[in-house]
Amino acid sequence: MNLEKVIFGFFIVLAATLNFGFFVGDIENPAHHDIYELFAALVVSLIATVLKFGDRTQIGAVHLSTSLVADLQLIAAALVWGYAAHVHPGGLSPEMTARVVSLSGGALFANVVSVVILIAETIMQRR
């Protein structure tokens, strides 16, 4: 068993599951979407991105690109949440919550693509 691949897979799957946990719920209800879970999803996604920098294969490039997309979406979601909670006169309204959740949905899709690639790569490996 390769410990590096275990850690790599762990962070990819953890990023996806944390993002899924934040995404699930009524899209307009801020009580269904925990800000700390969004923060955890962003931090784990950034860690997964750093782990992907060492791979110089074509599949590694696709892994990195999906991670960068997820990071960008989650950073945008965190910025919109921060703007809504601290600057926007309407506060964290249902409309702003829907924007945040929609952005995290884009990141979730990128994470799912990354997990599918990880599974396909694992199946294609020869011993």
Mean pLDDT per 10-residue interval, the chain, length 127 residues: 88 95 92 94 95 84 94 97 93 93 96 93 80
In contact, 15 and 48? CB cutoff 8 Å? yes
Per residue in 98-109, is it b (16+ CB within 10 Å) or e — as a string?
Answer: ebbbebbbbbbb
Per-residue model confidence (pLDDT) at position 122:
86
User: Domains in the chain: how many in total?
Assistant: 1
Residue range(s) defining the domain that contains residue 100: 3-124
Per-residue model confidence (pLDDT) at position 127:
58
pTM: 0.91
